[in-house]
Homo-oligomer: A and B are copies of this chain.
């Protein structure tokens, strides 16, 4: 019996190895919402049967998605779609630390929520059609730690993908915004690109952060992507730079 009797998409001697094809198929299922965040996937032998391959091959494909924090395996329980809530801190993309080395989890205070037309640079970053003035949600926040403002955060998301996003939904959740995107809009952020600039604080930001205009500040611009490298969010944060810094670790076992 041909191994892939049940699934015509698989190519046995394709340029790509089977397990990579399985990985892509699972990604497709995720992108199409067949398995939603927090849900359990069919077990490995079921998936193997469904895709017409050996368990080994399914495991290899899943392993890559686990390494990418898209799936989570739990022995004795199953394989799950990763969630963005604060408990499982896998999706805490933030790299801002207090200067004493402690990672911070600031609170979010919503300042404004509006629906506007994207300007050209935003439309370009979010891959929106540039001719028809695409509609976006604009979210302005202040990040606070112990009720002291430490950063401003301006967010832009395409309205088409974020149907159902409201000021109320943002205000009422204490979670990571990406958890809100998952819950409310079904949007899964799986990758970010971040650029960090040293800037002079402008008058408005300086006033908000309780520093002087012209003081150095860290501007952190981020584009967040969902499956298939589709950009879904642009956010720009400006951090008070006297007590906080940006920190990463790279390499190692």
Give chain A's interface residues, CB within 8 Å of chain B. Answer: 23, 27, 64-65, 67-70, 93, 95, 97, 190-200, 214, 216-218, 225, 229, 239, 241, 245-253
The answer to whether B199 and A198 have CB atoms under 8 Å apart is yes
User: Which chain B residue has the least Cβ–Cβ distance from A96?
Assistant: B196
Q: Are B197 and A253 in contact (CB under 8 A)?
A: no
Say yes or no: B64 contacts A197, CB within 8 Å: no
**18 A-B residue contacts at CB 8 Å?**
A23-B253, A27-B253, A65-B253, A68-B253, A70-B253, A190-B252, A191-B251, A193-B249, A194-B250, A195-B245, A195-B247, A196-B218, A197-B245, A198-B216, A198-B218, A198-B239, A214-B214, A225-B252
Residue of B nearest to A93 (CB): B250
Closest B residue to A246 by CB, please name it.
B196
Question: Which B residues lie within 8 Å of A241 (CB)?
Answer: 197-199
| Chain B, residue nearest A244 (CB) | B197
Distance, CA A28 to CA B51, complexed state (A): 41
Task: Please tell me if the beta carbons of B216 and A250 are within 8 angstroms of each other in the complex.
Answer: no
Cα of A196 to Cα of B225 in the assembled complex, Å = 24
How far apart are the CA atoms of A253 and B216 in the complex, in Å? 35
Closest to A199 in B: B216
Nearest-Cβ distance from residue A162 to partner chain B, whole angstroms: 20
Residues of chain B contacted by A214 (CB below 8 angstroms): 214
Bound form: Cα–Cα A218–B246 in Å? 11
- B68 touching A251, Cβ below 8 Å: yes
Task: Let me know if B249 and A192 touch, CB within 8 A.
Answer: yes
Residue on B with the closest CB to A240?
Answer: B198
Chain B positions within 8 Å of A248 at CB level: 95, 193-194, 248
Contact yes or no, A191 B23, CB < 8 A: no
Chain B residues, CB < 8 A from A64: 253
